[in-house]
Amino acid sequence: MNHFFKNHKHLTLLASTFNRFVSSNLSKKPRALFSSFANDLLEPDSWKSMEGLVRCKANYAPLSPISFLERSATVYRDRTSVVYGSLKFTWAETHQRCLKLASALSQLGISRGDVVAALAPNVPAMYELHFAVPMAGAVFCTLNTRHDSNMVSILLEHSEAKIIFVDHQLLDLARGALDLLEKTGTKSPMVVLISESDGSSPTGFSSSSYEYESLLENGHSGFEIRQPESEWDPISINYTSGTTSRPKGVVYSHRGAYLNTLATLFLHGIGTMPVYLWTVPMFHCNGWCLTWGMAAQGGANVCLRKVSPKDIFDSIDQHKVTHMAGAPTVLSMIVNSAVSDQKPLPHKVEIMTGGAPPPPQIFFKMEELGFGVSHLTVIFEDLPRNSTGKVQKFILREKAKALGSLFRMPYHFDMDDAWTDERTTVYVNSFFTRN
């Protein structure tokens, strides 16, 4: 079990709760006592059962993004799920591939709570890992491809990743990180190489490592998914960029990822069967949770290894893209692109941006090109850590006013509990709010 998810305070609280429960239920037999305690522990304090109403599989299941893929494999089974160059998969195929990959991870010894890392651009393997890793009961850690080997080694050591999936173009970066781990005596994770879709791989690839497609083929499509035991189980770890201080780890729960996925879809107005162009790195907040969101809506994921204005316009024209997202720099790249790279849009393309709002002229130029722009504010990293919830809310409202738009706080987010000075791990239910 990763140290991220160990906390002696939780154990102390559990023990004291159990002692109080036992002292008040001494007349019950041991089996009934433990069963009753487990039910009380898992049930919210505010919920009181009606007589004869018992929580069971028929009326309750932990919220998890895994369910999005399971549903799409049935509802949208023959619709396109992933597009990458000439490569195409349907939702039924993606579901089968993720099952086989989860099975393969299990065969490699990955168990519940283990961390699996990935160092890759927006390629199909990176998308599949967002489902396969949690389906194996593990926790997914996406690493920023812009880090150097030293930073990657630090994050691998801190996350205690057991396996790292590495894109073939980033193999040297990963090798440098693993060499640094070896020098410090830290056990290195197993390496799985993500080759290009044509199966090519760089020379000098270690025979002791694994290759993605070969590993996947060794898995079983009948693998039984390791569903979360609780919806509060972790599904992913994301690290801040570390540009202003040491990177901090953000742990997403299955519940938080599920709710934030639906919130992002709702706020961005993404309906059923969209065609989504991947210009946001999937390593950034799990692609703003839209890795899972496209499965929820049966959308087509158009993957781009490298983002350029020409590739953006070509992809929109070829695949009839309906939605995309990107940092303000992506919007600037689009509006300042060469005329020869631009193409008339087949329809209005909705694009979501985040972080600091772009200058008004960028918005106007994007609209002229046929894009509809909406802005989301990333809450963390942008707020004073030691300020109270009231101060933080005031700052956000003032920013929203400056944008001349409506501000909404996430309905299930407690600002006062978000930051602590002692811990480097922040547990998040919702990451974005729409202005």
**Predicted pLDDT at 376:** 73
**How many Å apart are CA 207 and CA 191, to the nearest integer?**
10
Residue 145, both tokens: 């491809």
Strand order in the sheet with 275-277: 87-90, 80-84, 300-302, 275-277, 323-326, 349-354, 371-378, 432-434
Quote the pTM value.
0.80
Q: What angle do CA 90, 116, 255 make, to 5 degrees?
A: 70
Please enumerate in sequence order all residues whose Cβ is within 8 A of that of 380, keeping only pairs 6 or more positions apart, or say none: 240, 250, 418, 426, 428, 431
User: Are the C-beta atoms of 305 and 337 separated by less than 8 Å?
Assistant: no
**How many Å apart are CA 188 and CA 209, to the nearest integer?**
12
Which pairs with CB-CB distance under 8 Å and at least 24 residues apart come from 220-224? Answer: 220/99, 220/100, 220/103, 221/96, 221/99, 221/100, 221/103, 222/99, 223/99, 223/100, 223/102, 223/103, 223/106, 223/135
**Predicted pLDDT at 355:** 75
**Predicted pLDDT at 415:** 39
Domains of the chain: 3-37 (no CATH), 66-237 (3.40.50.980)
Helix (H, G, I), strand (E, B) or coil at 235: strand
**Predicted pLDDT at 247:** 81
Per-residue pLDDT of the chain (435 residues; tens, 9 = 90+): 666 565 544 544 554 554 554 455 555 444 444 444 445 555 554 556 667 778 888 888 899 999 999 999 999 999 999 999 999 999 999 999 999 999 999 999 999 999 999 999 999 999 999 999 999 999 999 999 999 999 999 999 999 999 999 999 999 999 999 999 999 999 999 999 999 876 565 555 565 589 999 999 999 999 999 999 999 999 999 998 777 667 888 899 999 999 999 999 988 889 999 999 999 999 999 999 999 999 999 999 999 999 999 999 999 999 999 999 999 999 999 999 999 999 999 999 999 998 777 888 898 999 999 999 988 754 433 333 333 444 445 555 555 555 444 333 333 334 344 443 333 344 333 333 333
